Amino acid sequence: MNRVDYAPGGLNPPHSHPHASELVLAVKGELLVGFVSTSNVFYSKVLKSGENFVIPKGLVHFQYNVGKGKAVAITTFDSQLPGVVVAASTLFGSKPDIPDQVLAKAFQVDEKIVKAIKSKF
């Protein structure tokens, strides 16, 4: 179980938990929570205080404070070791690097764009 505090505009970036489902309970503020299913369907909801959202195990998801003030959430997992894979840093910040040409083809962009993104990590 975790308490997560979000500043206005705060983001928990796209990530997944390979070993657990997650329950997000909004305590304060407005939090956009979403995930993409294995069928590539995006599910989301803006949570207000007292509302919750379940994210199935292993799916890429995020939480984003869309309110004007601070947001607070409690998250729980169905495993003591949920694991975490943060999509952006995994792809663009790995050591050794994933080859630029692989990421350029995967995202259908020029290698210069891949290099620019990698420079942020």
Q: Residues annotated in the binding site for Mn(2+), as ranges?
A: 15, 17, 22, 61
Residues at the annotated binding site?
2, 12, 15, 17, 22, 61
d(CA 92, CA 56): 25
Rounded (5°) CA angle 100-60-34: 130
d(CA 99, CA 107): 13
Residues at the annotated binding site for oxalate?
2, 12, 17, 22
Query: If you search the block for the tokens 């995994």, which residue do you land on?
Result: 90
Q: Could you count the other beta carbons within 10 Å of the beta carbon of residue 1?
A: 8
Give the residue from 51, 3, 49 showing the smallest Cα distance to 12: 3
First to last CA, the chain: 28
